[in-house]
Structure 1
Amino acid sequence: MKPEDALPDDLAGESRFQLLTRLGFAGRGLLYIIIGLLVIFAGRTEDLTGALEYLGHGVGKLLLAVLVVGTAVYGLWRLTDAVFGIESGRHHWKAWRKRVAAGTSGIIYSFLAYKAVRILFSQRVSGNDAQQHAADAFDLPGGEIIVLIAAAILFGAGIVQLVKAAKCSFLARLDCDDRQKVWIRWLGRIGYAARGIIFLVVAWQLEQSAIHRRASEAGGLEQALDFFSPTVRGWVAAGLMLFGFLSLVEARFRRIHRPPPVDRVADGLKDAVRR
């Protein structure tokens, strides 16, 4: 291998799992960039699944296949963090809050990888997941309470995104110099602010769905974008694009801890099931 083809020292020593996790960050970034571009240049709103479907044609299928691997490993990495606290910490309340968030993110991206596989093999995927989940919840006793709890969790997640935008806490886990952090700071501030606004709108839509007991009022990213006027929607979409570019930056500079050995992961999952 030629010297110029070698990996940088900080990447060369990483495990294959860590490198694939970086691919997951890049995949997440690409999906948000596609969502933003579709809004700005085509006036079309999509969620993450819609962005995957947009790629599921022609040459885009090759990229979709890469995203399957990236999102699957990213989801597994987040689930591993939820079980072992390798990124979030272990024995204080903030760590447990972060681990719950990591587990939720891990489930979402693992499910997204499953959807990407179905799209890759030209299978249809469900439309509005939020409405379907709300409808399923309303079929259960106390379903409105379940939906309200989901709305509260999303509201909290939105506030967390806005706090990240204000404090720029995302910079702490990046291995880059201060000059690079100057422009990365603004990518994150605008990107996390846009994402936080989306979370708050989705939370409000879920709350309305629970109050009126109408699943049709629930929504996800696509419906949250549709909530805004065309002008505001364009600005929010631009913010989501910047969040996508931040994810690409994280794919390169994010400090990713090495996961525990496979046997420890298996034991941890067994203990979690027993509880």
Structure 2
Amino acid sequence: MDIAQHVPTPPPAWVKNMARFGLTAKGIVYCLVGILAFMAAFELGGKSEQSSDKSGVFQFILEQNFGRVLLAIVAIGLLCYTVWRFLQAFKDTENKGDNPKGIGVRIRYAFSGFVYGALAFYAAKLVLGNGGGGNGDSRETVAKELLQQPFGQWLVGIVAVGTALAGLHQIYLALSDKYKKHVQSAGLKHEAEAMMIRAGKIGYIARGIVWLIIAYFFLRAALHANPNEAGGSGSAFAFLESSSYGSYMLGAVAIGLLFYGIFMFMRARYQVINVG
């Protein structure tokens, strides 16, 4: 990637600190998503499925004592995670190379950077008091914008397929144990490593399920040319809640997302961070 020549590389200590701070912020978000979704599943504290997505988590943080400060810290952490992902993509700090497989992995890093960059931007707007005008599902907005383009239904369908592949990849990571590379290079004791591996496996499966449901929503939006049928994680939680044994299904996925957040904390503490 020629763009890598124009991307400055921060000092190694900065890269490591950004990565660990970013992984910690991501862990906080997923732990809160899991907790709020679990509360929604069993009607605890008046929480609903739609208030359990990431934008709902930001609102929850904002409502706490010193909420604006806490959310600002989370926003900075997500921004750090974004920068780290872009460094992985454009500076190839993980040494994935320029072959098709390596390029594919680096594109995935860049996509992750864009996603969490958007989340950091939304959190920052809330901190500044400019984002309170409704939950406004961003995926509905994306679907609406795409449907207005030529071949819009096909574009939304491509997003659906891409989202489904991302969900399947999460489940593949869990079942193939490929995520263990984040753990086994840290030199942990057997008990800590086993705990981290279990948390990661459960978390990746739960995350994959949510992504697959979101892909289903995008597919419906494409087939019916209706952006209102697209939805995010809040809609996915509501879908699970409405299924057979819905509370238990949503509760299980919520626990899985909580485990994913814990896995991010462990990665922040123990993962070896490559700096190029």
- Fold shared by both chains (TM-score > 0.5): yes
Q: 1:77 aligns with which of 75, 84, 94?
A: 84
Q: How many residues align?
A: 247
Partner of 2:237: 225
Partner of 2:118: 111
Give the Cα–Cα distance (whole angstroms) in 2 for the partners of residues 114 and 122 of structure 1: 12
Contact persistence 2:159–2:218 (CA under 8 A): yes
Alignment identity in percent? 26
Q: 1:141 aligns with which of 150, 156, 162?
A: 150
Shift of 1:177: 2.0
Superposed, which structure 2 residues align to 1:201-240 within 5 Å? 201-228=213-240, 229-240=246-257
Give the Cα–Cα distance (whole angstroms) in 1 for the partners of residues 257 and 129 of structure 2: 28
Q: Counterpart of 1:256 in 2: which secondary structure? A: coil
Contact persistence 1:168–1:188 (CA under 8 A): no
Partner of 1:151: 160
Give the Cα–Cα distance (whole angstroms) in 1 for the partners of residues 124 and 137 of structure 2: 18
Partner of 1:193: 205
Deviates more, 1:117-126 or 1:185-194: 117-126
Q: Counterpart of 1:15 in 2: which secondary structure? A: helix
Shift of 1:93: 2.1
Shift of 1:135: 0.6
Contact persistence 1:35–1:241 (CA under 8 A): yes
CA RMSD between the two structures: 1.6
Deviations 1:50-72 (A, max 9, x none): 21121113323222121121111
- For normalisation by structure 1, the TM-score amounts to 0.85
- For normalisation by structure 2, the TM-score amounts to 0.85
Q: Counterpart of 1:110 in 2: which secondary structure? A: helix
Q: Counterpart of 2:18 in 1: which secondary structure? A: helix
Partner of 2:188: 177
Contact persistence 1:88–1:99 (CA under 8 A): no
Distance 1:88 1:232, change over 3 A: farther
Deviates more, 1:145-154 or 1:54-63: 54-63
Contact persistence 2:18–2:84 (CA under 8 A): no
Shift of 1:14: 5.4
Shift of 1:84: 2.3
Shift of 1:47: 1.7
Shift of 1:88: 5.8
1:68 aligns with 2:75: yes
Shift of 1:79: 1.4
Superposed, which structure 2 residues align to 1:36-75 within 5 Å? 36-41=34-39, 42=44, 43-45=47-49, 46-57=52-63, 58-75=65-82
Shift of 1:221: 0.9
Question: Any stretches of 5+ residues in structure 1 without a counterpart?
Answer: 1-12, 260-275
Shift of 1:182: 1.0
Shift of 1:222: 0.9
